Amino acid sequence: MCGIVGASGPGNQVPQLVKALSRLEYRGYDSCGIALQATGRIRSVRTLRRVTDLEQRLTTLGLESTTCIAHTRWATHGAPSEINAHPIMSGDAIAVVHNGIIENYQTLRIALSSRGYTFHSETDTEVIAHLIHSEYTGDLLVAVRRAVKQLHGAYAIAVLCANEPERLVAARSGSPLVVGIGAEHNYLASDCWALHHLTDRFIYLDDGDVALITPERIQIIDADGRDAQRPLFRVKAHDSAVDLGPHQHFMQKEIFEQPKAVRDTLAAIDTISPSLFGAGVDARKLLSEVDNVLLLGCGTSYYAGLTAKYWLESIAGISAQVEIASEYRYRETVTNRRTLVVAISQSGETADTIGALDHAKELGEPPATMAICNVATSSIMRATTLAYLTRAGIEMGVASTKAFTTQLVALLLLTLTLARLRGRLTAAQTGEWLDRLRRLPTDIESALALETQIMGWAVDFADLEHALFLGRGMHFPIALEGALKLKEVTYIHAEGYAAGELKHGPLALVSGAMPVVTIAPDDQLFQKLVSNMAEVHARGGRLYVLTDSSSAFDTAKDGRLIRMRDGAGMLSPILRVIPLQLLAYHVGCLRGTDVDKPRNLAKSVTVE
């Protein structure tokens, strides 16, 4: 999704800023641009193409600057086009880059038009540029503060003013922004990852903050107009994440990193205890008080929550609801004040999940809130009392893979902790669970070894336009995730279904042209699933079955089989998803899609 970077300091900052922008490319974008201070005026360069194109154009034009802002845009208001790409200017005086959505932009646009402002783009951002221009009386910081007071919605902005050559002003509300502190330079970004080649010292702006950034100083003014001090964080870079190694794409690399990601996520654990979820807070007291769990997330993180519901109810004996964050935040719900609210998000910046968490807090629902997240410094991690940091490492592929499996591990640890607190597990049983979890990385390696067989399946799928994924019980969410992965990276229309629902509608779609992927472990629902598969077979559907090594299947009758190791038990969803990730990846490669950056999608969805 949209990315912001900015820099102010001696020397030409353009090459560093372009590099910073390229570090945000993995998040997905459709256009990009830069605005720079150049001897008393602002120059702006925008392109509908990649950051490398922007770089070439800057080199050709020979543009240099000490103070600049740049942006990758993921279109919300207005089609992807050069005219809608940021920076957006107000005349020659003000340049703005913006992440987020201004909800009252129509009203503001009418008001500004009546005051003589002309709009050139279809963006909501243009109202911000003109609003700042209209409020400007010689001090950019003051003008931005006045302007943002009139905005409704979510935003992170960076602003340049032609009259103030070394000054960069930033503001945020609902979208992340971080200031990077250098030796002689200061920087700005929507994600500290963008700046890791420049600094490891960061200040996170709070909602309502407006900041002035010059080479010498950072001045932050909070929502109430007071000077604010925000803590300085040191955040180490993990630059190995940007090397593909022997892999062709980040998605493949990240699928194969799952044994390590799970091992790292479990690394510091020698026992199951509430303290896993919070050091400085009384996690035991908070978790002992809950009798219900509400899991909130979007996309793949939502499916992690759906899987955890099965674990929480059967292992911990605690009721659990899973809500799509964008739905929950606007729904009237019945409040249970003994609810643990768990926000699941790999990025920790998803606007809907943050909104849902805020909504739960406003309802007075939770005695405890918990983040399950892959970014230690993210907004969601800072907004909850309890947290579990998954250690998947940065995930560059837009389609989540290793972040998902580590979320599942974290949710299983939460389940075991609640089960222990509720007297559902003895110390010995807890120890057995830990042993099984520690074997998980090796079991994942066995699942990854199925890649060649999956590639055989992928050839069959490459020319198709539809697919069904079936699962039952805790594998139903894995069927949903398998279908989501396939549609995200191959653009094949895929649907996940609870296998028992087949006869209630989707069976109408089944013909010789419909592949049906079935997750069929040899568990208590196996015979039921066999009946569901027979329904597909009888209608000429093409079955692709993920089953166990010992289950009784007739390949001639039952379609193509891939057998996985027996005995995964409750850990099975974590293993079964891996062949489905590989299937999506290889089908995407065969179809020639951009598997790491699927069209229209973004990694970190910071708008509603």
Which residues are the active-site residues?
A: 2, 603
With CB under 6 A as the contact rule, the residue among 4, 203, 220, 398 that binds ligand G6P is 398
With CB under 6 A as the contact rule, the residue among 301, 379, 385, 518 that binds ligand G6P is 301
Is residue 298 involved in binding ligand G6P (CB under 6 A)?
A: yes
Instruction: Compute the least distance from the CB of residue 392 to ligand G6P, in Å.
Output: 11
The answer to whether the bond into 87 is cis (omega within 30° of 0) is yes
Stretch that binds ligand G6P, among 87-95, 180-188, 232-240, 398-406 (CB under 6 A): 398-406
Burial class for 384, CB neighbours closer than 10 Å (0-12, 13-18, 19+): buried
Sheet with strand 186-189: strands edge to edge: 41-47, 31-38, 67-73, 3-8, 186-189, 178-181, 201-204, 232-234
CA triple 63-66-69, angle to 5 deg: 80
Nearer CB in complex with ligand G6P: 65/353: 353
Is residue 400 involved in binding ligand G6P (CB under 6 A)?
A: yes
Angle between helices 427-448 and 258-266 in degrees, nearest 10:
160
Is residue 479 involved in binding ligand G6P (CB under 6 A)?
A: no
Is residue 399 involved in binding ligand G6P (CB under 6 A)?
A: yes
Is residue 299 involved in binding ligand G6P (CB under 6 A)?
A: yes
Residues 69, 171 contacting (CB under 8 angstroms): no
Binding to ligand G6P (CB under 6 A): which residues in 321-360?
345-347, 350, 353
Stretch that binds ligand G6P, among 212-220, 295-303, 495-503, 585-593 (CB under 6 A): 295-303
Residues 445 and 428: their CA atoms lie apart, in Å, by 27
Nearer CB in complex with ligand G6P: 199/400: 400
- Consecutive H or E run containing 587: helix 572-591
Nearer CB in complex with ligand G6P: 87/299: 299
Mode of pairing for the β-strands spanning 466-471 and 493-498 = parallel
Instruction: Compute the least distance from the CB of residue 243 to ligand G6P, in Å.
Output: 22
Binding to ligand G6P (CB under 6 A): which residues in 430-449?
none
Residues 283, 464 contacting (CB under 8 angstroms): no
Instruction: Compute the least distance from the CB of residue 346 to ligand G6P, in Å.
Output: 4
Residues 179, 205 contacting (CB under 8 angstroms): yes
Nearer CB in complex with ligand G6P: 51/298: 298
Residues 161 and 139: their CA atoms lie apart, in Å, by 9
Nearer CB in complex with ligand G6P: 173/346: 346
Instruction: Compute the least distance from the CB of residue 357 to ligand G6P, in Å.
Output: 11
Instruction: Compute the least distance from the CB of residue 605 to ligand G6P, in Å.
Output: 5
Q: Which residue is nearest to ligand G6P (CB)?
A: 299
Sheet with strand 515-520: strands edge to edge: 493-498, 466-471, 515-520, 542-548, 560-564
Nearer CB in complex with ligand G6P: 350/415: 350
Is residue 180 involved in binding ligand G6P (CB under 6 A)?
A: no
How is residue 240 written in tokens? Answer: 């190995």
Nearer CB in complex with ligand G6P: 350/384: 350
The DSSP code for 313 is I
For binding to ligand G6P (CB under 6 A), which residues are involved? 298-301, 345-347, 350, 353, 398-400, 601, 603-605
